[in-house]
Amino acid sequence: MAQHFDMVIVGAGLSGIGAAYHLQANCPRKSYVVLEGREAIGGTWDLFRYPGIRSDSDMYTLGYSFKPWREAKAIADGPSIRNYVCETASENGIDRNIRFGHQVKRASWSSVDARWTVEAEHGPEKEIVRFTCNFLFMCSGYYSYAGGYTPEFAGTESFAGRIVHPQKWPEDLDYKNKRVVIIGSGATAVTLVPEMAKDAAHVTMLQRSPTYVVSRPGEDAFANWLRRNLPAKLAYGIARWRMVLLQMFTFRLARRRPEKMKKFLLDMVRQELGPDYDIATHFTPNYNPWDQRLCLVPDSDLFQSIKSGKSSVVTDQIESFTPKGIKLKSGKELQADIIVTATGLKLELLGGMQVSVDGVAVNIAKTMTYKGMMYSDVPNLASAFGYTNASWTLKCDLTCEYVCRMLNYMDAHGYKQCTPRQRDPSIHEEPWFDFSSGYIQRAADVLPKQGSKKPWKLYQNYALDLVTLRLGRIDDGTMEFSSPHRAAMPAKEPVRATA
Ligand SMILES: Cc1cc2nc3c(=O)[nH]c(=O)nc-3n(C[C@H](O)[C@H](O)[C@H](O)COP(=O)(O)OP(=O)(O)OC[C@H]3O[C@@H](n4cnc5c(N)ncnc54)[C@H](O)[C@@H]3O)c2cc1C
């Protein structure tokens, strides 16, 4: 027997807990369950346990619109973010509606019944548990939880030390007085370097090519002043908008005046590391600012660590692993006791779930995203997906509000099914993201497309999305609303279950 809910939310991370909050607030009569594959709330902020794990965007925009971030640090550590998500769940009774250890594997839509059947594996025996729902909300993040991405390096088996990936950090890893090489130049690598360098003998960040790195104060003095002097919600609202506008301004400037922005960023690094440091080799990327995400470091921690000599940067390519470390294409060899492969994530959409509509398998890569949240020809399913150029939660909050508005609209008009249909021949396909980051390029053939015009175009612009998603028409001529015959009949009310 399948239990029925108005909505099934997949994932109990930042987005899933946010989705449940918005549903409770805006559609209080709707029943829902959150299916979570792991045994904990928090998603990313519970999974990643490497030393120094922290956000790389400020918590005024990574936090929810409805729950002020009350801590002094704007760039927060992983455990504080996890606590914030858990607190949201318990304060609002959302935790009672979570089924842990339910890994969702399949979802099949039936137009005749206007409902999804969702199948999850549960427990060590992987027992199949079935749920049905009117609306499926995927809050399953954007990467595989099974493991991170590690390129194939020759000779890894010959290395005598330990090799670790930040996504599966071993609790017992002792790096005190050890020589550590961290492969990578992204947010994880720049976080790990200064943190591990505090105890390690030396840390080398080995990168194939540099990333733009920018330092910001870990605490936002203005936001903290607001917090001390104004009611919490007002202070948070002002701090949030200030950061939104700042992010939008820097992104636009980077796209319009890339050379100016490049000079500005490199001058800052020069000021940090001094005129003798080889910034051209180690901190000057071969792409323009915001063609990939900028790497933020709080309170110049990376630069101070480099200046102190506790860590260093090597820009080179790996020839092979050796018993003692890594041989580079330049002929140099890096000695290491521990190698950390901070080489990224494996992108995965819809939590790896198989989807079918009326018995036909859906290839999500062949779909076009509607308003950055639904997929062409896939009914009653939305995904919470954040911005690439700003904090994740900004877009997720708007998506959740929009889904609730749409559900209320459907109830008011007696509709059971909503399906985005792309029938405009003047709209052409574009890649989902115009980012050159490796993890996005690697996944290009599994990602959906965006369209060249609204409502299929992703503008990556919070202010614009705020207006269109909060105030724009639900019945916009692209979303097809319908009431399949059987669902429209005054049949027995489904049994409303509570989780
Ligand atoms: C190290 C790191 C740092 C980051 N820092 C920032 C930052 O500073 N700012 C920013 O904006 N973004 C950042 N991000 C992106 C980050 O993932 C988002 O900010 C946000 O945490 C995503 O929340 P989410 O709930 O959508 O997804 P996740 O946190 O990934 O949570 C998804 C949840 O869904 C569950 N799930 C997945 N598939 C299934 C399934 N099939 N069945 C059941 N459950 C499933 C998972 O177990 C997990 O609990 C960072 C990401 C990483 C990896």
**pLDDT tens-digit profile of 375-421?**
999 999 999 999 988 999 999 999 999 999 999 999 999 999 999 99
Instruction: Please tell me the distance between residue 14's alpha carbon and the centre of ligand 1 in angstroms.
Output: 7
Cβ-based neighbours of 446, under 8 Å, separated by 6 or more: 347, 348, 349, 364, 365
- The pLDDT value recorded for residue 103 is 98
Cβ(36) – ligand 1 distance below 6 Å:
yes
**pLDDT tens-digit profile of 444-467?**
788 999 999 999 999 889 999 999
Residue 426 has pLDDT above 50, yes or no: yes
- Residue 293 — pLDDT band, cuts 50, 70, 90? confident
Residue 497 has pLDDT above 50, yes or no: no
- The pLDDT value recorded for residue 498 is 39
Instruction: Please tell me the distance between residue 143's alpha carbon and the centre of ligand 1 in angstroms.
Output: 8
Measured from the Cα of 143, ligand 1's closest atom is 30
Measured from the Cα of 11, ligand 1's closest atom is 34
- Residue 323 — pLDDT band, cuts 50, 70, 90? very high
Cβ-based neighbours of 461, under 8 Å, separated by 6 or more: 248
Cβ(353) – ligand 1 distance below 6 Å:
yes
Measured from the Cα of 348, ligand 1's closest atom is 38
Cβ-based neighbours of 263, under 8 Å, separated by 6 or more: none
- The pLDDT value recorded for residue 486 is 56
Measured from the Cα of 166, ligand 1's closest atom is 1
Pocket test for ligand 1, best of 10, 17, 34, 44 (most atoms within 8 A of CB): 44
Instruction: Please tell me the distance between residue 257's alpha carbon and the centre of ligand 1 in angstroms.
Output: 32
How much is the average pLDDT of 479-484?
A: 93
Distance in angstroms (rounded) separating the CA atoms of residues 196 and 201: 9
How much is the average pLDDT of 183-210?
A: 97
φ and ψ of 389, to 5 deg: -110, 10
Cβ-based neighbours of 226, under 8 Å, separated by 6 or more: 234, 235, 238, 239
- The pLDDT value recorded for residue 438 is 73
How much is the average pLDDT of 428-439?
A: 80
Distance in angstroms (rounded) separating the CA atoms of residues 171 and 193: 18
Instruction: Please tell me the distance between residue 325's alpha carbon and the centre of ligand 1 in angstroms.
Output: 32
Instruction: Please tell me the distance between residue 484's alpha carbon and the centre of ligand 1 in angstroms.
Output: 35
**pLDDT tens-digit profile of 117-154?**
999 999 999 999 999 999 999 999 999 999 999 999 99
Residue 490 has pLDDT above 90, yes or no: no
Instruction: Please tell me the distance between residue 264's alpha carbon and the centre of ligand 1 in angstroms.
Output: 31
- The pLDDT value recorded for residue 120 is 98
- Residue 274 — pLDDT band, cuts 50, 70, 90? very high
Residue 242 has pLDDT above 50, yes or no: yes
Instruction: Please tell me the distance between residue 140's alpha carbon and the centre of ligand 1 in angstroms.
Output: 7
φ and ψ of 104, to 5 deg: -75, 130
Residue 492 has pLDDT above 60, yes or no: no
Cβ(167) – ligand 1 distance below 6 Å:
no
Instruction: Please tell me the distance between residue 85's alpha carbon and the centre of ligand 1 in angstroms.
Output: 12
- The pLDDT value recorded for residue 118 is 98
Cβ-based neighbours of 324, under 8 Å, separated by 6 or more: 160, 333, 335, 336
Distance in angstroms (rounded) separating the CA atoms of residues 453 and 467: 17
Contact between residue 393 and residue 57 where contact means Cβ atoms under 8 Å apart = no
How many other CB atoms are found less than 10 A from the CB of residue 177? 10
Q: What is the mean pLDDT of the chain?
A: 94
Instruction: Please tell me the distance between residue 346's alpha carbon and the centre of ligand 1 in angstroms.
Output: 12
Q: Report the Cα–Cα distance between both ends of the chain, in Å, rounded.
A: 15
**pLDDT tens-digit profile of 57-80?**
999 999 999 999 999 999 999 999
- Closest C-alpha residue for ligand 1 atom 23: 14
- Closest C-alpha residue for ligand 1 atom 18: 392
**pLDDT tens-digit profile of 9-52?**
999 999 999 999 999 999 999 999 999 999 999 999 999 999 99
How much is the average pLDDT of 309-324?
A: 97
Instruction: Please tell me the distance between residue 59's alpha carbon and the centre of ligand 1 in angstroms.
Output: 15
- Closest C-alpha residue for ligand 1 atom 38: 351
Measured from the Cα of 41, ligand 1's closest atom is 49
- Closest C-alpha residue for ligand 1 atom 15: 392
Cβ(16) – ligand 1 distance below 6 Å:
yes
Cβ(272) – ligand 1 distance below 6 Å:
no
